[in-house]
Structure 1
Amino acid sequence: MFTHPPAPEEIQRSRLHDRRAGNLRRHGFTLIEVILAMGLIGLLIGGVYSIANGALQLGTSMNNARVAETRLTHFTAAWRDYLENLPPGIRLSCGIEKARRGAAGNLLIEGGQPPFIWTRRVRLADAVEFAITRSQEQGALQLNVRHLRRLEKPNAFDAYEQIAELPLLHGLKEFRWEFYNAEKKRWFASWNPEKDPVPPLYMRLHFQFLKDPREYDFTYWIANDLVALK
């Protein structure tokens, strides 16, 4: 029995089929390759998202820090303008009442133009009190300014009534005052006008925030050497 060799057309058709099958095998992807590719794409997307999220958080943190620094700059500038322009005859007292933890009592300044004015009615204040109070943030303190008006009939408990109150600094870990007595040439944590009727020559502020390791110290000259014109 004889077997005829395949015709040339069949040989060429078989070779073309084998070549196409080989190309399909070479260009196809296995399941493992597809899974690895999807994992790589996921890693790339996650990395891009992490970078974008980190950039947003950094931008937010920088903006918050910039706002805090601007607020602090305005706070210290307002203090300087206020203390360096106090008229003669003011009365300053601090630390007479029991101090709160992390603070050194409230500061009361009677007389002079009131600082930190944000409404018209506080311009009529006869005195201002800077009070250290509990903040809404757990474990934190805050500094408030209270504008006071003298009572027509002062009583044994208080000579003033409060007109308004404004928070100045939030999230404080501590806030302390110090006053320099020019006669005794010493710094004191409190000031009693009954014992020292002449205001201190300098006042020093020391404070620190809960979320900021830096400590802030500012020293201001108080215009207590001015003499009233007669």
Structure 2
Amino acid sequence: MRVLLVEDEQEMAAWLERALAQSGFVPHHAPDARSAEHLLSRNDYDAVIMDLRLPDKHGLVLLREMRSRGDVTPVLILTAQGALQDRVRGLNLGADDFLSKPFALEELEARLAALVRRSRGHQSPRLVCGSLEYDDESRLFTLGGDLLHLTPREHAALAVLIGRSGMPVEKSHLFNRVFDHDSEANVDAIEVVLHRLRKKLAGSDVHIVTVRGMGYMLESVTEET
């Protein structure tokens, strides 16, 4: 999935590029509107992530120009917290979704995937591991048919693990997907999140195992037998 990231904050852009690439996206970065226009004229993208406060042109102007020339690429706009006016103007100009800063990486990726599915006319997939199910559209987990109540970090960790169930996920990668890039937490903090998840999965046919030297893996008892 090719994604154009239009973001002038270099640290934020570098973090997002790294994280998106690790998750299987192919990100291209444009630090300003001029670079974005150049890349859009030469490449086809599945989605655009656009910050509004660009150094050479407001993001909504760039969006309006895209739509005026018939470019229907899905656009996810990054806005300041509570920027209602930007949201209203963005909707009127053809924006597809919004995400307020600061945001969780897992939510950004879920929204991107949903945008692309809708643009392609696909139904949202359900990820399954034993009796654990994840609906990517509603972003809800159920265990044995019952809603599984999770904290945001537990939700982010479990979403990564079920997306790669049966395969180990590196500790550092899981940490980066669960904690914000500016978090002061140590990488070992992910073990606390996993401990709480293991307690919530206890007694079911699904568990999180530690794969020595490789990370953590979600698996079901039924898959083992």
TM bucket (normalised to shorter chain) is under 0.3
Q: Which has the larger radius of gyration?
A: 1
RCO comparison, higher one (Cα < 8 Å, 6+): 1
Q: Name the structure with the higher helix share.
A: 2
TM-score, normalised on structure 1? 0.21
- Superposition TM-score, scaled by structure 2 size: 0.21
> Which structure carries more strand by proportion?
1
